[in-house]
Amino acid sequence: MFTGSLVALVTPMDTKGNVDHVSLKKLVEYHIANGTSAIVSVGTTGESATLDHNEHIDVIKRTIDYAEGRIDIIAGTGSNATKEAIELTRQVENIGVVGCLTVAPYYNKPTQEGLYQHFKAIAESSPLPQIIYNVPGRTCSDIKPETVGRLAKIKNIIALKDATGDLSRVYKTRKLVGDDFKLLSGDDATFLDFIILGGDGVISVTANVAAKQVATVCELAFNNQIQQARNLNDSLMALHTHLFIEPNPTPAKWACTRLGLMANGTIRLPLVQLSDASIPVVEQALKDAKLL
């Protein structure tokens, strides 16, 4: 359920900026057909920061409806306000999600004790399994391994998504959390090494456009077919890098559109469409991965 290739799904929008439900259903079908383990709906890649509350819940519900039980759905329920994160978590309790992904509070810059109390309060508010998400480059807030170790003692905090790219943390965190706690990479460029060092999978942006390939890399790594995994992952490395050439999810949405996975790459302000200078770079990455 919380292993392998999980996709940080983009939220498709029409030219007016409204959620494109037809394209959303198409994306769900794409991931079911291509071996993705689970979909993270309205995580930060899904533009949770710019969807209003009703849209946020509606997209999660529609993703569950479109999946029809064929793939696990994890709800993004993070916020920099603990109260709001609790409200979002409670709202998805009985709609069919298998768990929640909760990003570290952004802008506030809480202490380690503040981070601990934030995630503890959310976990205690709901029986849903919780994945805590550490992405200091976007939040200015770093959940240290020692804090993850404390949080792992809370029964329904069951996993960490680590987007630091710091591979030295895998071993250190594993010692603090034990074998049952899931460690998921949130950094596509290092996810294979993360798994080799003891991680359980990845919550991937690249999987938005290369679902089968990312799932296969995970499977090969789990089966100790490391060289085959490296060879395939090498073909994805340009994507792992250039899908972040501009702020996520701008390049990923452009790439999904280029591949015909959704109608267009509309993104909400303050992010803007992929620049003319970056388009050929992302297109070449798609070609390197043999997707074009």
Tell me the average pLDDT across 148-176: 97
Average pLDDT, whole number, for the chain?
A: 97
DSSP code of residue 201: E
pLDDT digits (tens, 9 = 90+) for 263-273: 999 999 999 99
Indicate if 161 belongs to the active site.
Answer: yes
How many domains are contained in the chain?
1
Q: Which of 133, 153, 155, 287 is catalytic?
A: 133
**Assigned domain for 263 exists:** no
Indicate if 133 belongs to the active site.
Answer: yes
pLDDT at 263: 96
CATH number of 25's domain: 3.20.20.70
**Assigned domain for 76 exists:** yes
**Assigned domain for 218 exists:** yes
Backbone angles phi, psi at 221, to 5 degrees: -65, -40
List, as one string, the DSSP characters of 67-109.
Answer: HTTSSEEEEE---SSHHHHHHHHHHTTTTT-SEEEEEPPSSS-
**Assigned domain for 281 exists:** no
**Assigned domain for 264 exists:** no
**Assigned domain for 283 exists:** no
Instruction: Provide the residue range defining the domain that includes 153.
Output: 4-234
pLDDT band at residue 158 using 50, 70 and 90 as cut-offs? very high
**Assigned domain for 94 exists:** yes
pLDDT at 153: 98
Q: Is the pLDDT of residue 1 over 80?
A: no
**Assigned domain for 243 exists:** no
List, as one string, the DSSP characters of 16-78.
Answer: TS-B-HHHHHHHHHHHHHTT-SEEEETSTTTTTTTS-HHHHHHHHHHHHHHHTTSSEEEEE--
- Candidates 197, 93, 123; CA nearest to 132 is 123
Residue list for the binding site: 45, 203
Residue list for the binding site for pyruvate: 45, 203
pLDDT at 53: 95
Q: Are 155 and 99 in contact (CB under 8 A)?
A: no
Q: Which of 161, 212, 253, 290 is catalytic?
A: 161
pLDDT at 205: 98
Which has the higher per-residue pLDDT, 1 or 288? 288
Q: How far is CA 235 from CA 211, 223, 228, 241, in A?
A: 13, 20, 11, 12
Give the whole-number percent of the chain exceeding pLDDT 90.
100
